[in-house]
Amino acid sequence: MSSLTEEQKKKFKATFKHYDKDKDGQITFEELGQILRGMGRNTTDVEIYQMQQIHGSDKIDEATYLALLAQKLQEPDSVEEIQKAFDTFFGPGKTTITSDEFKAMMMEFGERVSEDEADELIKDIGLNKEGCIDVKAFIDHVFESK
């Protein structure tokens, strides 16, 4: 997970303070959901509930809030967002890519995985009968693992 920039931290801390109406240094997960949706993230109530269950509390402090925001900002928000990234990298309408193309993309963009990690992803996704990766299969794999 990459860290937030100082500018992002400043902005997010101000938002936290705005939502911390009782000034106890905490906000509810419901408020976190409002913040994320206000940022344009398509965060569902189920995802918010799951985060709440993981943290074992109805509220989170500022440090946890910043860590969750950093994590959420790293996640692809939608199938369309990932498809757009593929279209940008390979050209619009490409439905399959070679293993070498996939490795180049994964090592250059996003979380910058190693060649071994890219090979493991390819193994997990699988190759079609032409020995290529189906873009749709990759996108489905991303959202399966969320």
pLDDT exceeds cutoff 90 at 129: yes
Would you say domain 79-140 falls under CATH 1.10.3720.10?
no
Domain range summary for the chain, segments of one domain joined by +: 6-74, 79-140
Q: What fold characterizes domain 6-74?
A: Recoverin; domain 1 (1.10.238)
User: Which of 85, 93, 96 is closest to 126 using CA atoms?
Assistant: 96
Interval 88-110 mean pLDDT: 83
pLDDT value of position 77: 60
User: What per-residue confidence (pLDDT) applies to 134?
Assistant: 92
Residue 1 has pLDDT above 50, yes or no: no
Nearest one of 123, 143, 142 to 133, comparing CA atoms: 123
Task: State yes or no: pLDDT of 28 exceeds 70.
Answer: yes
The most confident of the ranges 5-9, 15-19, 78-82, 139-143 is 15-19
Angle between helical axes of 79-90 and 135-144 (0-180°, round to 10): 140
Does residue 39 have a pLDDT over 80? no
Please give the model's pTM, rounded to 2 decimal places.
0.53
